[in-house]
């Protein structure tokens, strides 16, 4: 099937709204450069973006497409204000593009720092291509929905990643069981568009919230303590597991 036809199909499945002109152009560029060869199915149709399983030659990839609508725009502007690195023109398109680029660059930084995130592959406009996390038949479940047999192991890994992240100068700022995938028993951190730098005046507050979210989740399985996790992440404590 030609990719134009495949896009038509996906378009009909997802109300068309995401596939504005900018999106079509970005997808066209990514396809002509060989980063995407065909689409498989939508994995998620969220408030701010849609994620698809796609193929690049024979390999699976995940394609995240940021939606360009008013509520997304408001949300994003709020976060971009915290981040002086991303001074962009104030039109909606430039802001969404900057937002996608920010997530792509953050994925690169984190991947290089040894934090388990999907490996970033390409970015064009409001579209990101990254490593697909999941099996042949389905995407990896969220931590929230995964059957966890090794809660202690997963918690310790996440603590280690948050510490590495902090060392790399980054606070996730939307960390919870909704933004961690479990693949083959291993946690993978996703959705890093709204991260802030550790030098940000709001960084500690965001980190506290991240720590609160994750300890609350794990308390169902094991005994965990917010204060120690926080101190471990910022390097005031050497061990937590």
Ligand X SMILES: Nc1ncnc2c1ncn2[C@@H]1O[C@H](COP(=O)(O)OP(=O)(O)O)[C@@H](O)[C@H]1O
Which residues of this protein are in contact with ligand X, per CB under 6 A? 43-44, 46, 48-49, 51, 62, 64, 118, 130-134, 139-140, 142, 179, 190-191
Instruction: Give the residue carrying structure tokens 């915290």.
Output: 82
Whether the Cβ atoms of residue 102 and residue 173 lie closer than 8 Å to each other: no
Which one of the spans 19-27, 91-99, 125-133, 178-186 is the region binding Mg ion (CB under 5 A)?
178-186
The one of Mg ion, ligand X, none whose footprint includes residue 22, by CB under 5 to 8 A per kind, is none
- Considering only residues 63, 191, 214, 224, which one is a binding residue for Mg ion as defined by CB under 5 A? 191
Cβ atoms 152, 218 nearer than 8 A: no
Q: Classify residue 93 as exposed, middle or buried by CB count within 10 Å of its CB (0-12, 13-18, 19+).
A: middle
Residue 191 known to be catalytic: yes
85 CB-contact burial (10 Å; exposed 0-12 / middle 13-18 / buried 19+): exposed
**Of residues 23, 26, 50, 179, which one binds Mg ion by CB under 5 A?**
179
Stretches 10-18, 21-29, 53-61, 183-191: which one binds Mg ion (CB under 5 A)? 183-191
Rounded to the nearest 5°, which phi and psi values hold at 38? -160, 160
Q: Is the CB of 51 or the CB of 234 nearer to ligand X? A: 51
Active site residue 112: no
Which residues participate in catalysis according to the annotation? 174, 191
């Amino acid at each position: 099937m030609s990719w134009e036809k495949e896009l038509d199909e996906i378009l009909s499945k997802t109300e068309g709204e995401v596939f504005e002109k900018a999106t079509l152009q970005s997808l066209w560029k990514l396809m002509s450069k060989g980063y995407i060869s065909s689409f498989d199915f939508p994995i998620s149709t969220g408030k701010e973006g849609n994620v698809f399983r796609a193929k690049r030659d024979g390999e699976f990839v995940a394609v995240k497409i940021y939606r360009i609508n008013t509520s997304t725009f408001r949300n994003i502007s709020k976060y971009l204000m915290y981040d002086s690195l991303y001074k962009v023109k104030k039109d909606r398109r430039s802001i969404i593009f900057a937002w996608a680029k920010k997530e792509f660059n953050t994925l690169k930084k984190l991947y290089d720092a040894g934090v388990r995130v999907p490996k970033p592959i390409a970015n064009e406009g409001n579209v990101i291509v990254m490593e697909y996390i999941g099996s042949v038949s389905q995407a990896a479940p969220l931590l929230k929905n995964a059957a966890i047999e090794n809660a202690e192991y997963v918690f310790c890994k996440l603590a280690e990643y948050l510490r590495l992240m902090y060392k790399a100068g980054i606070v996730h700022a939307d960390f919870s069981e909704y933004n961690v995938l479990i693949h083959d028993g291993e946690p993978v951190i996703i959705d890093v568009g709204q991260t802030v730098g550790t030098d940000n005046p709001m960084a500690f507050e965001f980190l506290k919230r991240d720590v609160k979210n994750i300890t609350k989740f794990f308390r169902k399985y094991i005994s965990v303590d917010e204060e120690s996790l926080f101190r471990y992440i910022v390097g005031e404590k050497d061990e937590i597991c």
